[in-house]
Chains A and B, each alone.
Chain A
Amino acid sequence: MRRYILTRIVLTLPMVFILATLVFFVMHILPGDPVRSALGPKGTPEMVARIREQLGLNEPVIVQYGKFLVSMVTLRFGNSLVLGHRPIIDEMSERFPATLELVIPASIVALLIGILGGTFAASRRKRPIDYAWRIYSVFIYSLPIFWLGLMLQLFFGVRLNILPISGRIDPVIGTTLKSVTNMYIIDALISGNWPALWSVLQHLILPTFTLGLILSGVFVRMTRINVIETLQADYIAAGRARGIRERVLVYGHALKNAMIPVITLIGLQVAILLAGAVLTETVFSWPGMGRYLVERISTRDYTAVQSVIAVFALLVALISLAVDIIYSLVDPRVRY
């Protein structure tokens, strides 16, 4: 067990390295001058030269690459090019909790729908309800996430006018909330600020369901296939022969084992989750990492863009590491 985990950690390093190289390649080697485009037509050659000097873009590529790798390991990304020139890591530490607050509930929604729907479909295989769930997962797969978000806004926000369509908290109530962790739910809970908690939850519903529904399609599909496969195993047949009720077999015996591959899937879904978060945050004006990225692209804040993407790369590597370790704990058969 320990050996597996160690091997897995060691194997994560090349992945981080490759992703970092990829980000560096995209940001530094591809044609296109970030400084010139940041300054626009107004930029004089002297200004361009000065900012290039400031960013260290005049140094040899290999030196830039080394500095970039160091900044990624130490998380010291330097200062923003625009608006007050704050350290980027400070700005990100404000945005990151917002993304977490969106991504965690969304994953829970996706898992709940996926596991329940998938198991239900599998237990009624080839009946209409099974086909309905299959169509659901194909249809969900074809939905543009930003469009789903807008449709929910149109219906619940504009037509029924019962839910807010943008932001994390009502701006008036927001001033009463003291932020400690920047995850507003936790902040509201520890300070006992119930109106704030209510407002936060209201703001959370639409973005959570947008992201959660989009993710749920894949989970329904995978759970269904795995449960069907598990239901064909010998021990299920044995249980059936002993007269154990079908429901107990499906939800008690089969589901537990069918869940193991689904855990791996969660790791693979991180990519979809993060990409979906970028779009969801844009649609709902949710001040998280994704919106930060898009904002900084439009203000041409080159350093910030590069740093956010590097952080996303780190996240992907760490989460896939975590998932694999959990997998090895759940399923003792996994070994290198």
Chain B
Amino acid sequence: MTIIKEQRPENAPEAEGWESELERVGFVRRILMSRRWYGADWWFVAIASVMVVAFIVIALVPGWFAPYAPDAIVGSRFLAPGEHPAVPVLIVPVDSTVNDLKDLAVAPDQPRPPVAVVQGVPTGGALNEQAKAIDDQIKNEPGGLRLRPQIDRYPTIEKALQAVVDGTDVAAVIQSTEWEKLAQQYPMLREGHTITGEISTAGGFLLGTNDIGQDVLSRLLWGTRIALIVGFSSSIVALVLGVPLGLFAGFIGGPMDRLLSLVMDSLYAFPGLILAIAITAVLGPSVLNVIVAIAVLYIPTYYRIVRGQTLSVKEEVYVEAARSIGARSREILQRYIFPNVIPSVAIIFSVNVADAILTGAGLSFLGLGLPPTIADWGIDVARGQRFIQTGWWMITYPGLAIIAVVLAFTLMGEGLTEIFNPKLRER
């Protein structure tokens, strides 16, 4: 008997090249090597990735982007987007050296500087209060200056301003919004600082302020953090529990598998939000409890997909081959089955983060889960609902933020599905 040696034809291409390449094909490489770079789905993934990265950056360092701290009270209440806040400002003659309320301080023996205000407008009170505060501060300082302006009340803004023009008063204090309307008519007057000396908010707030005078934009940017924390953490917890359970159940089969599947299917059928409501209601409000409540909901999602794939991969010839050469179960699971489920897990994870953010927002909208002091979109929308007649911006913008984040993760999942499941693409 002659042994026929296997011979490679002379002109056969080098096999090593693609073989070694195939071995190295992993998750990232498979994306990069896909033939579909030019398809619309890549644009989905590309745009979504940019958005996701942007949101992650914002969530990591919201302070770089947000003009104010999330719980700082920075302006008047209910300012519409771009609306200038009404701040009492000093109005002085163009050639005056006075800029600040402090500049009106004089030595105790000098006459008190007269300041014009309008009757029946809170500026007079604000001026008194502020002057007293500054006076208390400077009276012990060297120089012995005192700030005790003499307040002249006029019936109208025009009369008050005229008094400054005439020189009867050294300055007037009026609301900045009023001054904007009148500035054209008084070229001989100019706007000084606000009498409270706080940061100038003359530009208004891009997205307005809420019912207690916090900046909506800042809260929105800071809210990214909690949304992503809840979304990512709960999905990761669900993944870490769901994937091994699915692998295990699919691989061993039998009554254990049936029992586990029954439990998971029941959990899957139950309305997620309602279960999360129950869990958070019992556990009490905290970020960790929200993450736990939402993670429980998504374990079945991973379980079902991973189990299904394990069942079909288990029957593949290469698994049988591995088993026939004596590979242990653990090895088969680890090296032959697990890599096959990675792509679907990546897809579910992406969609899952989106879902978890929505559920989390729903929970905090209902006033459950998160402590009310946290800057969160759901909480902000719920708060805005009470003022729906006055402040549309308090509801609209946090909602748009939720949509943007959820859309980014959903699109990512969509794109990944199309890339990893060529069969689906043909549909």
Contacts and interface: CB of A to CB of B under 8 A. Distances in A.
Given A158-B388, A279-B362, A15 B381 contact: no
B281 A305 contact: yes
Contacts of B407: 138-139, 142
A287 to B, nearest CB: 16
B388 A274 contact: no
A195 interface: no
A34 B283 CA distance: 9
Contacts of B266: 15, 18-19, 22
B282 A26 contact: yes
Nearest to B367: A298
Interface string B349-385: 0000010001001100111100000000010010011
Interface string A53-76: 000000000000000000000000
Interface string B263-277: 101110111111101
A324 to B, nearest CB: 12
Contact of B262 (A18, A138, A141, A275): A18
B80 to A, nearest CB: 14
Contacts of B272: 271, 275
Contacts of A32: 282-284
A261 interface: no
A188 to B, nearest CB: 28
Contacts of B263: 18
A297 B281 contact: yes
A274 B362 CA distance: 13
Contact of A154 (B265, B271, B278, B395): B395
A275 B272 CA distance: 7
Given A26-B279, A138-B410, A151-B396, A312 B274 contact: yes
Interface residues of B, number: 45
Most buried by A among B273, B277, B282, B354: B282
B366 A229 contact: no
B427 interface: yes
Nearest to A315: B271
Contact of A274 (B271, B282, B410, B411): B271
B278 A309 contact: yes
A111 interface: no
B273 A278 contact: yes
A278 B385 contact: no
B372 to A, nearest CB: 12
Contacts of A283: 385
B68 to A, nearest CB: 24
Contacts of A37: 284
A139 B414 CA distance: 12
Given A30-B283, A144-B403, A305 B271 contact: no
A312 B276 CA distance: 13
A327 interface: no
A31 interface: yes
A228 B8 CA distance: 46
Contacts of A158: 388-389, 392
Contacts of A279: 273, 362, 365-366
A294 B269 CA distance: 21
A145 B414 CA distance: 21
Contacts of B384: 150
A62 B265 CA distance: 25
A23 interface: yes
A157 B392 CA distance: 12
Contacts of A31: 283
B274 A274 contact: yes
A229 B427 CA distance: 7
B390 to A, nearest CB: 9
Contacts of A141: 406, 410
B384 to A, nearest CB: 8
B114 interface: no
B262 A27 contact: no
Nearest to A148: B399
B270 A271 contact: yes
A278 B283 contact: no
Contacts of B399: 144, 147, 150-151
B277 A293 contact: yes
Interface in A1-51: 14-15, 18-19, 22-23, 26-27, 30-32, 34, 37
A186 interface: no
A228 B427 contact: yes
Nearest to A267: B269
B282 to A, nearest CB: 5
Contacts of A229: 427
A282 interface: yes
A313 B266 CA distance: 9
Contact of A138 (B284, B367, B395, B414): B414
Contacts of A34: 282
Given A32-B284, A147-B395, A279-B365, A312 B271 contact: yes
Given A19-B270, A27-B282, A142 B277 contact: no
B402 interface: yes
29 contacts: A14-B262, A18-B267, A22-B267, A23-B278, A30-B279, A37-B284, A139-B403, A142-B354, A142-B406, A144-B362, A144-B378, A144-B406, A146-B381, A150-B381, A150-B384, A150-B399, A151-B396, A271-B269, A272-B271, A279-B366, A282-B365, A283-B385, A294-B366, A294-B367, A294-B368, A297-B281, A305-B278, A312-B271, A312-B274
Given A144-B362, A271-B270, A279-B365, 15 more contacts: A32-B283, A32-B284, A37-B284, A138-B410, A138-B411, A142-B354, A144-B378, A144-B406, A150-B395, A154-B395, A270-B271, A279-B362, A294-B367, A309-B278, A320-B269
